[in-house]
Amino acid sequence: MSFISIEFLLFVAGIVTIYYFIPHRFRWALLLLAGYLFYASLSVQFLPLLLASTAVTYVTGIVIEKQQTKQRKKYVMFAGISVLLFFMGWFKYFNFVNESLRNVADFLGLSYNVPYQDLVLPLAISFYTFQAVSYLADIYFGKQKPERHYGYFSVYFAFFPQLVAGPIERARKLIPQFKVEQKYDYDNITYGMKRIAWGIFKKTLIADRLAPIVSSVYDSPNATGSEIVVATILFSIQLFADFSAVSDIAIGCARLFGIKLTENFKQPHFAVSIADFWNRWHITLSNWLRDYIFIPLCKGKKKRGEIYFAIIITFLVSGIWHGAAWTFVLWGLIHGFYRVFGDATKHVREQIATTVGISKRPTIHTWWKIAVTFLLVCYSRVFFRSNSVAEAFENARLFLTPTSWNPVGILETFQLFSLIDFVLFAFFFVVFQVFQYMERKHRCTWNWLSQLPVFSRFAFYSFVVLSIVVYGVSENGFIYGGF
């Protein structure tokens, strides 16, 4: 039951209808049942693991609070987090670590006989594990009281709109919303429907139209440099459209129940620096890494070198979280290097901008920084998208080769599109950019649209829905559903 299937939309409509017809005291049970049914429809074999992780986190939270000393609270917290990380580590990282050790042993001429395990990655384990870790850490630091109602806590763990791909929510924000009696609100319903439709628009008319083009290049053994350049830029667009789409749908579905989830994206490809990019991209993960990795590592540290080390470790964790492959590790390290280099050279770069005079033209200066940041992000995504480390370094070399950026070669690469596919993608991409422009100008495009005359609003909403029905394609799952 995919987010963009008719079955899912009917499922949501049915749950929402029942939700507002039953008394508030039963609604947690309905949401919990909906979460487990949704998860079972996608990955029923791992439902027991979800239940076990819920139980471990619930019990550990209560035990932490009951401890009399800070030291004992810490021991209990680490014990609970260790169990949760073991669950994730076994399924997600065992074979990665095992094969890495095997390669090291082969290089050293040693015998290594631990067999490969036929493991399947449990759906959403990275997301609900991080939510669980934040819950236990917040109890330990006194930011969160343990939830005693097992039902409400279980809903926090299995709230179906954000279970599969986030946003990664904090318990202190989400659980209280479940306890408040949500009244039927026309604005919530219409806003939720619009966000869902917009998410499906981005997924089916942009992300999934680009997916086969990107794959045809990255899965080809003979891709040219220009093809790598174009495919990498298109992959960046695909990844943003895909992941922001699933966040839109999650936020929209939650709003139908009166629940407000955290915005996960703020036009990251218009960031003016790598630091700004990570304040705009996958915001809930960035905040999680900041609060539970970076800040603890920096506690008591004042030397710039120590802080830079903490930055590298934080981005290394981000890379490992994204996938069990050295390509993701390298991707994380590249962003860590970007972040450190950007901070270390900030003063020098400002002096250069002043010397050449570009700082006197703020609009040009801003767009220059946007372009440089976008290209740096694209370069890192060569490692994110490549199938192996060897391929990643070769593709990275091609991306940096000057002849790969030859305008003639770039134009020839667009022959990967059929004419009709290119025209359709270009049209809907322009619509998407106009929408983003209006968002930058009016802060919330949906509020701006709601103030337009009825005919104009109806025309736009009809355009979105009809475009999806007539031209939408969907042959791929959500990219972050695999994390």
Angle at 335 between CA 409 and CA 414, to 5 degrees: 20
In 213-290, where do the E strands start and end? none
Task: Kindly give, in sequence order, each residue whose CB lies less than 8 Å from that of residue 309, ignoring residues fewer than 6 positions away.
Answer: 297
Q: Are 165 and 250 in contact (CB under 8 A)?
A: yes
Catalytic choice (24, 149, 322, 365): 322
Alpha-carbon distance values, 26 to 22, 38, 179 (Å):
7, 19, 11
* 282 part of the active site: no
Residue 472 amino acid letter: G
In 16-102, where do the E strands start and end? none
Burial of 178 (0-12, 13-18, 19+ CB in 10 A): buried
Q: Which residues of 444-482 are buried (b: 16+ CB within 10 A; e: fewer)?
A: ebeeebeeeeeeeeeebbeebeebbeeebbbebbbbbbe
Cα torsion 352, 353, 355, 356: sign:
positive
Length of the chain (residues)? 483
Can the peptide bond before residue 296 be classed as cis, meaning omega within 30 degrees of 0? no
460's tokens: 């736009």
Burial of 264 (0-12, 13-18, 19+ CB in 10 A): buried
Locus of tokens 């919990």:
32
Q: Are 281 and 294 in contact (CB under 8 A)?
A: no
Active site residues: 322
